[in-house]
Amino acid sequence: MRVMNMKQTKKDEKRSDDMKRIDGRKPDEIRPIFMQAGILKRAKGSAIVKLGRTTAIAGVYGPKKLHSKHQQDSNKAVLKVTYNMVPFSTDERVRPGPSRRSTEISMVLREALEAAVILEEFPKAVIEVQIDILQAEASTRVAALNAASMALADAGIPMRDLVSSCTAGKIDDEYILDVAGKEEDVTLCDLPVAYMPREKKVTLLQMDGDLPVKDVKNVIQLAIKGCETLYQKQKEALKERWIGSVQGLADLNGTKSEVKG
Amino acid sequence: MTEEIQVQIKEKDPNLLKQDHDFVVPGDKVISSIEYIPGRNCFRDGDSIYSKRLGIVNIENHVISVVPLAGIYTPQMGDMIIGEIEDIHTAGWFINIDTPFSAFLSLSGVRGFIRSGTDLSKIYNVDDLIYAKVVSCTKQGISLSMQDTRARKLFGGKLLNISPVKVPRLIGRQGSMISMIKSMTGCNVIVGQNGVVWIHGEKDTLVTEVINKIDREAHIEGLTDRVEKFLQDNLPKGFVPKEQKEESDSTELSEGKNESDEHEAD
């Protein structure tokens, strides 16, 4: 909340209220959001998330038996996350296959999701999450994480909370939410945050560039505000996908309408 | 009917953030009160009860549980499931039941006396199908038993997998759906709680189609009527199903015994 106050006082002194960003957004505005769950028929759970033109698609398989015994954990399930950029996702063709960058992102995403998924329920099992970036225009890991968390919920996997994720940064004196496109090149920093809104815990925090110590807290708070907006969208998207089945189950229990037969 | 309504009114609590039959996602708070107990697919954190899985809320006698809309089968004591013998061990059989957990049928779980030194593959061999009861589920795995009147070995027939959360839909209220399918087609159908369906009979292709239809359209209203119409349209005119032996109450649960007797004679 302090973020907002600081920003407004500064803004009021310096410039008019309708200061815009490169793509015409307000400083604390997220790009147009599109989320849909259950888009893949063959995967147990799936979701697509678009933040502006950044598109991430996630599919979940499992929980199933992990066949290589040495990888098994007798106390909990193993979460395998694969982050992949498809060759046509950027200006220059991406070489297919794992790279240094994608391996690292896969790891941080796995750690961000592990905090939320209740892995203890499936000892010796594996849950596989495959995330593909169809189009990249900054903040891909954030879109990937939102999609993965929705796909896990869609697959009916027990979780403590959904994971929402958003980036924030700073340009000149302005804190900005959801760093995108060309902005990535001119920002002082780019700071992705993953957040569990119910537990109020941060599960991923990275930073590119430098940021004065006094600003760090404000930027994180702004990112968390973005996460909460995205969390509501995630819930809506999941509800939209399952609402038909909710009706069906209510019918079965016979409280909302009578079933013949 | 009036009783039901009264119960419903009693359950209304102003503290409830979600009502009975509301949709929840993982981490949704259902209630902030210590008067309620978290049931299946729910957990308590501090004073509040939260949902663990995507599903709909079910509130019964101050126990809050969530009926899942998706996901794999979670074994529960007393469930009847269909499994395939995977491996034979000295003390019993390992059984594949389509979950990440391994199930085990021990010698003590088999009906009848087994003399020491008996070749266990003579009783149940690899690839045999059994309809068995879950007697315990622990972290180590699931224990099965054949000591139930419904439990038996399945001979011949066809297997079909559906989503385990759609199983209640396929059975219908008091077995209405499944008994309709069985009586109209004359097929013998057994539904395992783990989402495996066994079909045996002349019209098994039609039954497969019908069950796939139920799996796909379980959430659309008027399912029973549509299934009935589909069966009427696709059955040849004047089709009379063969009389099944002693088809008593016609739920999938009541017939195991009759069938097993029939096959043991083979």
Residue B245: give its domain's CATH number.
3.30.1370.10
Number of domains in chain A: 1
Report the pLDDT value the prediction gives residue B6, as an integer from 0 to 100: 54
Question: How far off is chain B from A116, nearest CA to CA, in Å?
Answer: 9
Domain-ending residue, one of B29, B47, B68: B68
Flag whether A135 is in a domain. Answer: yes
Query: Tokens 């888009």 label which residue?
Result: A39
> How do residues A231-250 score in pLDDT, each as one tens digit?
999 999 999 998 866 666 65
Flag whether A169 is in a domain. Answer: yes
Number of domains in chain B: 3
For B71, which of A157, A239, A247 is closest by C-beta distance? A157
Residue A36: strand, helix, or coil: strand
Lowest mean pLDDT among A154-163, B86-95, B141-150, B235-244: B235-244
- Looking at the predicted structure, is the pLDDT value of residue A261 above 60? no
Flag whether A164 is in a domain. Answer: yes
Flag whether B266 is in a domain. Answer: no
- Round to whole Å and give the CA distance between B53 and B68: 6
Report the pLDDT value the prediction gives residue A248, as an integer from 0 to 100: 60
Q: What is the CATH number of the domain that holds B44?
A: 2.40.50.100
Question: How far off is chain A from B263, nearest CA to CA, in Å?
Answer: 32
For A238, which of B25, B68, B218 is closest by C-beta distance? B25
Domain-ending residue, one of B99, B119, B154: B154
For A154, which of B54, B221, B225 is closest by C-beta distance? B54
Flag whether A95 is in a domain. Answer: yes
- Round to whole Å and give the CA distance between A239 and A236: 5
Q: Which residues of A170-195 are buried (b: 16+ CB within 10 A; e: fewer)?
A: bbeebbbbbbbbebbeebbbbbbbbb
Q: Are residues B106 and B168 in the same domain?
A: no
> How do residues A16-69 score in pLDDT, each as one tens digit?
455 678 788 888 899 999 999 999 988 999 999 999 999 999 999 989 999 899
What is the pLDDT averaged over residues A136-150? 94
Residue type, B265: A
Flag whether A252 is in a domain. Answer: no
Q: Are residues B234 and B176 in the same domain?
A: yes
> How do residues A174-215 score in pLDDT, each as one tens digit?
899 998 877 777 777 889 999 999 999 999 999 988 888 999
Q: If you average pLDDT over every residue of chain B, what do you get?
A: 83
Q: What is the CATH number of the domain that holds B131?
A: 2.40.50.140
Domain-ending residue, one of B68, B91, B110: B68
- State the best of A127, A128, A251 to mutate against chain B, taking most chain B CBs within 10 Å: A251
> How do residues B192-248 score in pLDDT, each as one tens digit?
999 999 999 888 899 999 999 998 887 777 888 888 899 988 888 777 777 655 443
Flag whether A223 is in a domain. Answer: yes
The ipTM value here is 0.83
- Structural domain boundaries enclosing B253: 158-257
Q: Which positions in chain A touch B177 (Cβ < 8 Å)?
A: 261
Flag whether A253 is in a domain. Answer: no
Flag whether B219 is in a domain. Answer: yes
Q: What is the CATH number of the domain that holds A122?
A: 3.30.230.70
Spatial CA neighbour of A119 closest among A70, A58, A74: A74
Residues of B with CB under 8 A from a CB of A: 8, 20-21, 23, 25-29, 41, 43, 45, 50, 52-56, 67-72, 100-102, 139, 165, 168-169, 172-173, 176-177, 180, 218-225, 228
Flag whether B264 is in a domain. Answer: no
Flag whether A203 is in a domain. Answer: yes
Flag whether B248 is in a domain. Answer: yes
Q: Are residues B163 and B239 in the same domain?
A: yes
What letter does residue B149 receive in the DSSP assignment?
Answer: T
Q: Are residues B223 and B248 in the same domain?
A: yes
- 0.80 exceeded by the pTM? yes
- Looking at the predicted structure, is the pLDDT value of residue B122 above 80? yes
Q: Are residues B137 and B177 in the same domain?
A: no
Question: How far off is chain B from A121, nearest CA to CA, in Å?
Answer: 8
